[in-house]
Amino acid sequence: MGEGVVASWAVEYTDGTTLSQYENGKEVPYRSIDWSKAQRLVFESQLLRETFGIDPQPEIQLSLRSRHFMTPEGASTMCFLLVGSRPGLPVDADSTQWVLYWFPDGVSHVCDQFDCRDVRAYGSGLVHGIPRGLMPEHHQLRTAVDGALEV
């Protein structure tokens, strides 16, 4: 993958307008996105274009971020993160409800970890040219005991 693949984002709003990552030759900051009016999030690279539907909910704060992977020799790749977190809190491991990770090769991964080790391993392999296949699905299974068996 390396330096040659460039990715960008755009947000399509319910009123038919679009906010793109680059407007008038300048990069638009993520904080300019009005998530309350967002209808679709579009990720695009030279390889593909993917669209994700957005349904803003008051109990989820949406934010867009990116993570970059680099080698000492200067090769790099990145992934975008659409983060759903608890409103009013800084976005971190404690406030994160879910994250959609998207790589420019079209691989995506959804989990509840703000810093997912599988994403780190995939990004590192990608930037070093080591194919890793698809990332595994993982979920933390929460269980509760509602009864006890006495013997």
Looking at the domain assignment, is residue 149 inside a domain? no
Instruction: State how far the Cα of 7 lies from the Cα of 130, in Å rounded to an integer.
Output: 20
The tally of domains found in the chain comes to: 1
Looking at the domain assignment, is residue 132 inside a domain? no
Looking at the domain assignment, is residue 59 inside a domain? yes
Residue 122's alpha-carbon distances to 12, 29, 34, in angstroms, are 29, 26, 30
Looking at the domain assignment, is residue 150 inside a domain? no
Position 6 scores a pLDDT of: 83
Position 1 scores a pLDDT of: 44
Position 16 scores a pLDDT of: 97
Looking at the domain assignment, is residue 68 inside a domain? yes
Are 42 and 51 spatial neighbours (Cβ–Cβ below 8 Å)? Answer: yes
Place of tokens 């595994």: 136
Looking at the domain assignment, is residue 84 inside a domain? yes
Place of tokens 């390889």: 47
Q: What is the pLDDT along the chain (151 residues), one digit of tens a residue?
A: 444 568 999 999 999 999 999 999 999 999 999 999 999 999 999 999 999 999 999 999 999 999 999 988 888 889 999 999 999 999 999 999 999 999 999 899 999 999 998 899 999 988 888 867 666 665 554 444 455 455 5
Are 91 and 148 spatial neighbours (Cβ–Cβ below 8 Å)? Answer: no
Closest CA to 63 of 103, 100, 27: 100
Range of the domain at 76: 7-127
Looking at the domain assignment, is residue 23 inside a domain? yes
Alpha carbon 63 to its chain centroid, in Å, reads: 9
What amino acid occupies position 1?
Answer: M
Position 137 scores a pLDDT of: 63
* Single pTM value for the model: 0.83
Looking at the domain assignment, is residue 48 inside a domain? yes
Instruction: State how far the Cα of 68 lies from the Cα of 54, in Å rounded to an integer.
Output: 24
CB atoms within 10 A of CB 88: 7
Position 32 scores a pLDDT of: 97
